[in-house]
Structure 1
Amino acid sequence: MRAGSSEADEPGRLRAPGLALLLAEARGIFELNSSLLLSPLLMRAPRGDGHPVLTLPGFLASDLSMVPMRRYLSELGYNAHPWRMGRNIGGLVRLKQALLDRLAEIHADVGCKVSIVGWSLGGVYARHLALQAPEMIRRVVTLGSPFANDVRATNATRLYETLSGETVETTSELREAIAGDLPVPATSVYSKSDGIVNWRTCLLRPTDTAENIEVYFASHIGLGVNPAALWAVADRLAQAEGEFHPFDRSGPFAIAYAPAEKAQSA
């Protein structure tokens, strides 16, 4: 998918983020460094109750990319798990059974529902799992995941189709289901300064158990280590099973979030 300077070639058609945003993705290293420097503040997030959390990496990434997330969640009291499937080269249809098996393994071992945190393509997988096995899932949190609207509007679409052997069109029915309401609580964390994914593809329909959280100035490759995004993930996971309340944008990273009404109607 080529980078462009506008969001649409034609009415209703989204485009991938432009070259300037794509090049600015290099700032992800600063987001990681910020999280390290602000770790005392991050540890003030609500504590976990020990329930399992499965972390799913983005396209071309591996479990290594989710180490900071898992370490943070573990320190807060969660039982964080890797996906253990190597590098994510895509293929929702190809991987759906293996993903379901991994979820079932964790669910059986721990004996309680599993929350899922998915970064980018990992979030698409997470939403699909919620449709397949809602009885095993407590809640889903996605980070910069393109599951809605014109999902071809990314700077990785062509590479994804080449490596996975799957096209967006061949999975259109599945994609439409993933974009709809989930049977479990769901949160989409996204940024309008994402240089890989058009942010409009990350928006879910707000409901009593679903919400969008916009993080100002975050990059796509930095969302999983961005301090404000990490805080939001921890806050969402801390909700009791069967409960959902809107994200409270106060606290040490309040300045990093768009107002709730803006994020929900963007």
Structure 2
Amino acid sequence: MVELPPPVRWWGHPLGEARVHLELAHLLLSATWRGDDVPHGDGAPVLLVPGFLAGDLTLTALHEWLRRIGYRSYRSGITWNVDCSEAAVRRLDRRLAAVADRTGAPVSLVGHSRGGLLARALAARRPELVRRVVALGSPLGAQLDASVLTLAAVSGARLAQNLVRPHRPHCLTVRCPCPFGADLARPATPPVVAIWSRQDGIVRPSACRPEGAESREVTGSHIGLGHNVQVYRHLAEVLARD
């Protein structure tokens, strides 16, 4: 599942990501935002995990909407998602255990971009606590299959990590020997739903449709997947399943 980045550079569609504000406006004006045209939940817990270079605040709209339609939504505690993947998964593991203990039920993990990778690895590590994984634009098929500009940002984060952890030169690479890579490669018992966009300007769309996952296509930007009305409709349907 985890493989080396493809040899052909992909520049993505950075200008297309500017539509994110229109996507948010579309959501806020929709019946979906009001909860009128989607199934409601029964109080099941959901843990949200933000993407690379992002934090919990970027998923505020999704967090509030999930609570309004009947779910117990929880934030990950991530302020800025740039840390070592293994360190991030260990913190999420503690957060997952706390949510599962508080609610007395397995937790659905919803991760945006890199957050989906962390959620997928966590589900393989703690399947007894996870109900399902929903990945929004996550490169589950090849974790570094992203645009040139995005990979440059990853390189910058890697340099920063090397200053903090010089004994881990392969941090934020596919060669990282930490358990995160092995967990990401292992089959996960909880089902995985991959929601992706052909217009994604950050992550190559083909990387967001891994084998073994249920694939659902939407239209829109990568950044906007956290407040895309089509994503919300799919998410409401998926979370309402037994």
- By the TM > 0.5 criterion, same fold? yes
What is the rounded CA distance, in whole Å, between the counterparts of 2:103 and 2:211 in structure 1? 31
Q: Secondary structure at the match of 1:77?
A: coil
What is the rounded CA distance, in whole Å, between the counterparts of 1:187 and 1:17 in structure 2? 26
Give the equivalent residue in structure 2 for 1:27: 19
For this pair of structures, how many residues does the alignment match? 224
Give the equivalent residue in structure 2 for 1:237: 239
What is the rounded CA distance, in whole Å, between the counterparts of 2:93 and 2:143 in structure 1? 26
Q: 1:145 and 1:214, CA in 2 relative to 1: closer, same or farther beyond 3 A?
A: same
What is the rounded CA distance, in whole Å, between the counterparts of 2:131 and 2:14 in structure 1? 34
What is the rounded CA distance, in whole Å, between the counterparts of 1:152 and 1:176 in structure 2? 18
One-letter code aligned to 1:144: G
Q: Is the 8 A contact 1:55 1:83 kept in 2?
A: yes
One-letter code aligned to 1:163: A
Give the equivalent residue in structure 1 for 2:202: 196
User: 1:169-248 maps to which residues of 2 (within 5 A)?
Assistant: 169-171=174-176, 174-175=180-181, 177-179=183-185, 181-206=187-212, 210-216=213-219, 218-240=220-242
Alignment partner of 1:111 is 2:116? no
Alignment partner of 1:77 out of 61, 67, 70 = 70
Q: 1:42 and 1:188, CA in 2 relative to 1: closer, same or farther beyond 3 A?
A: farther
**What is the Cα deviation at residue 112 of structure 1?**
0.8
**What is the Cα deviation at residue 174 of structure 1?**
4.4
Give a deviation string over 1:140-167, Cα, whole Å, max 9, x none.
Answer: 1010011213624333223224225223
**TM, length-normalised to structure 2:** 0.85
Q: Is the 8 A contact 1:69 1:224 kept in 2?
A: yes
- Higher relative contact order by CA 8 Å / sep ≥ 6: 1 or 2? 2
Report sequence identity in percent. 34
Structure 2 unaligned runs (5+)?
Answer: 162-170
Give a deviation string over 1:38-92, Cα, whole Å, max 9, x none.
Answer: 1357612111111110000111111111111111111110000011131212421
Alignment partner of 1:15 out of 2, 9, 19 = 9
Give the equivalent residue in structure 2 for 1:54: 47
Q: Secondary structure at the match of 2:73?
A: strand
Q: Is the 8 A contact 1:53 1:80 kept in 2?
A: yes
Q: 1:98 and 1:40, CA in 2 relative to 1: closer, same or farther beyond 3 A?
A: closer
Give the equivalent residue in structure 2 for 1:148: 141
What is the rounded CA distance, in whole Å, between the counterparts of 2:140 and 2:151 in structure 1? 13
Shifted more, 39-48 versus 185-194: the winner is: 39-48
Q: Secondary structure at the match of 2:176?
A: helix
Q: Is the 8 A contact 2:113 2:136 kept in 1?
A: yes
